[in-house]
Structure 1
């Protein structure tokens, strides 16, 4: 039993089921991120944990106590919304302590809690200002302060950074991460941004169309995606996925894939279970950073395979250069060092780290497991 248990939970609106048998157990102190495209059900699931949405079937328990039907105010959770939901006529200090006042906490205790939280979030110089006098990042800190001051069992964050500009999002991401590592609080965090999911979480639940596609650590999700959806949703740029055929040579499976010149290239697999797939079609998945120049290849890998192919496009991006070629009639992106001497139209000697390759069944789009 976890600290927060979501057991076989569904959500229906009339005859339409939008969440399908969700099972997640969150341990105390975990940072779970629910990530997926718009409409996948992640905010609905968060609302059910908070008590803002009714549960159609299944149960949700916090600290072993089933909270189905329990009013949100009785669940000892705190929620930080995308819109911040601050009272414009109250000062920062009043916004932060309003919930405590409503629960009858004496003024000296409220003031002590305000002082501690404001110092922690570095907004102690703002407590007498109104929300309209604050920047987006400052308003976000106030919303977090209002949640922190209550010392709840579980913190719920609903896309809290989506209204911030790119730089401020990165800064606030760091602040939330530091806060979690300092306080060891239990957090469930909703986002559609897979970079947020990867950097903040201890575990990620990737959602699509109301189903949990994969639940695991950021490394598990990134290195061994359960299916094509997870592979292409998580990562920036996304994993390259291209049609290929398994060819076994001397007992070793290879991926046979068409190159940009109409020829066929053989890429040796590390995954020996693919011997049984000899002659069958697969989908080959390779992350951009596993396709580079020979000098930039991973020195620790025991399976770097050479690939000669024509470059279609190069995109300098500061610290990296992204190089596009054609494989399996698909645009395939490699991630090179910034100073790599490569240009469009050139036939280039690529180095592919096949230890990082993943194979998917083209019928089910599920990963072919070792």
Structure 2
């Protein structure tokens, strides 16, 4: 049994089931991120944990106590909203204090907690200002402070950084991670941003169509995606996915692909796992950083194989150059070193690290190797 247990939980609105049967067990101190595109059910699940939405079937429990039918105010759960939800007529101090007042916490204790949290979040100098006088990042800190002073069992974050500009999002991501490491709090965090999910979490639940597609650590999700949706959704740029056929090359299984100049190339797999699948159509998945210029390839890999193919587009990105070619009719992105002299139209050697390749079934889209 975990600290927070979600057991066979579903949510329906009339005949429409928006959250399919969901099972997640969260340990105390974990940082779980629910990630997925809009409409996948992640915010619905967060609202069910908070008590803002009821559970249609199944159960959600905290510390072994079922939350079904328990009012939000009685759950000892604090939520940080996307919109901050601050009272505009109250000062920062008043906003942070309000929830504690409602829970009957004595004034001296309230003052002590406010000072502690304001110092932690570096907003002491803002305590007498009103929300209209604050920047977006400062408002987000106040919203977090209001949650922290309650000392809840669980913190829920509902896309808290989506209203911030790109640089501030990165800064606040770092602050939230530092906060979690310092306090060891249990956090469930919703986002559609897979970079947020990978950088913040101890575990990720990737959601799509009301289902949890995969639950695992960031490394497990990134390196070993369970299906093509997870492979394509997680990572920036996303994993390359293109058709291939399993063939034999020197007695070993290889992925046969079509190049842009109408020739074919066979790229040997790193293992013999697909030896019994000769002739089978597959989808080959390989991340951009596993397709490089030859000098930039992983020197520790024993499965680097070179394919010469025409370059379609180059995209300089400062520390790297992304190089796009076409393989089996799909744009395939490689990550080259920044100083590699490569131009559109060149026929260039691409080094594939097949130790990093994964294989999916084209029909079920589930991973097979």
Indicate the SS of the match to 1:244: strand
Distance 1:364 1:105 in 2: 55
> Structure 2 matches for 1:249-264, cutoff 5 A?
249-264=249-264
Q: Does 1:152 align with 2:155?
A: no
Distance 1:104 1:4 in 2: 26
Deviation, structure 1 residue 249: 2.8
Could you tell me which residue of structure 2 aligns to residue 360 of structure 1?
A: 360
Q: Does 1:7 align with 2:3?
A: no
Deviation, structure 1 residue 93: 0.6
Could you tell me which residue of structure 2 aligns to residue 37 of structure 1?
A: 37
Deviation, structure 1 residue 270: 1.4
Q: Does 1:208 align with 2:208?
A: yes
Could you tell me which residue of structure 1 aligns to residue 139 of structure 2?
A: 139
Deviations 1:254-297 (A, max 9, x none): 00000111111111111422111111100000100111101100
Indicate the SS of the match to 1:272: coil
Distance 1:300 1:15 in 2: 54
Q: Does 1:276 align with 2:276?
A: yes
Deviations 1:90-131 (A, max 9, x none): 000110011111111111000000000000000011000000
> Structure 2 matches for 1:289-300, cutoff 5 A?
289-300=289-300
Structure 2 alignment gaps of length 5 or more: none
Distance 1:126 1:276 in 2: 66
Alignment TM-score, normalising by the size of structure 2: 0.99
Higher alpha-carbon deviation: 134-143 or 317-326? 317-326
Q: Does 1:58 align with 2:63?
A: no
> Structure 2 matches for 1:208-247, cutoff 5 A?
208-247=208-247
How many residues get paired? 369
Higher alpha-carbon deviation: 78-87 or 266-275? 266-275
Structure 1 residue runs of 4 or more that deviate by more than 3 Å after TM superposition: none
Could you tell me which residue of structure 2 aligns to residue 81 of structure 1?
A: 81
Q: How much is the aligned-residue C-alpha RMSD, in angstroms? A: 0.7
Deviation, structure 1 residue 302: 1.1
Distance 1:322 1:272 in 2: 31
Distance 2:272 2:56 in 1: 45
Could you tell me which residue of structure 1 aligns to residue 112 of structure 2?
A: 112
Distance 1:176 1:276 in 2: 48
Distance 1:211 1:180 in 2: 27
Distance 2:301 2:151 in 1: 46
Contact 2:249/2:266 (CA < 8 Å) preserved in 1? no
Distance 1:154 1:299 in 2: 44
Distance 2:196 2:326 in 1: 30
Could you tell me which residue of structure 2 aligns to residue 343 of structure 1?
A: 343
Distance 1:172 1:100 in 2: 25
Q: Does 1:170 align with 2:160?
A: no
Deviation, structure 1 residue 309: 0.5
Could you tell me which residue of structure 1 aligns to residue 130 of structure 2?
A: 130
Indicate the SS of the match to 2:118: helix
Alignment TM-score, normalising by the size of structure 1: 0.99
